């Protein structure tokens, strides 16, 4: 077989790999390459078989139709958050502190806050 050239960094990795296993670099490379090629062949066979089974299921009508297109991803991920009065007060205090530290001056900006009284509810509504 022809000689295969390796990048210097790959050669260094191979030599370290072989040293850790007490092998010469050629034997270590042969073993590592054989293991990878066996894995790749099995992975390819499993993927191909999965695709074939899926295709057969579709042809035989053993699949469910896709979900209604009227439901959007965003709509399916909506949820409601309920807060306690204590949590709202804590959020107000944090917001007040951010404003007092001039958080808006850094470009962070706080939208939904109007007037001089910060209100956490305005941020989450």
Residue 98 lies in a domain: yes
Count of structural domains within the chain: 2
- Find the domain containing 54 and state its range: 8-59
pTM of the model: 0.47
Q: Report residue 119 CA to chain centroid gap.
A: 34
- Structure confidence at residue 117 (pLDDT): 47
What are the pLDDT digits (tens) for 31-81? 999 999 999 999 999 999 999 898 888 888 888 766 655 555 555 656 566
User: 14 with 54, same domain?
Assistant: yes
Chain mean pLDDT for the chain: 76
> 110 near 98, Cβ under 8 Å?
yes
Nearest Cα to 124, choosing from 82, 74, 76, 72?
A: 82
Q: Is the dihedral of CA 33, 35, 41, 43 positive or negative?
A: negative
Distance CA 109, CA 112 (A): 10
């Amino acid at each position: 077989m022809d000689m295969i050239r390796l990048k210097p960094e790959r050669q260094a990795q191979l030599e370290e790999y072989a040293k850790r296993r007490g092998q010469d670099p050629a034997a270590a490379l042969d073993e590592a390459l054989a293991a990878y090629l066996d894995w790749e062949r099995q992975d390819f066979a499993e993927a191909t078989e999965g695709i074939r089974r899926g295709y057969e299921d579709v042809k035989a009508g053993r699949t469910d139709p896709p979900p209604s297109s009227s439901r959007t991803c965003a709509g399916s991920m909506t949820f409601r958050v309920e807060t306690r009065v204590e949590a709202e007060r804590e959020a107000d205090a944090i917001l007040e502190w951010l404003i007092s530290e001039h958080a808006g001056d850094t470009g962070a900006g706080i939208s939904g806050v109007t007037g001089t009284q910060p209100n956490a509810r305005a941020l989450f509504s």
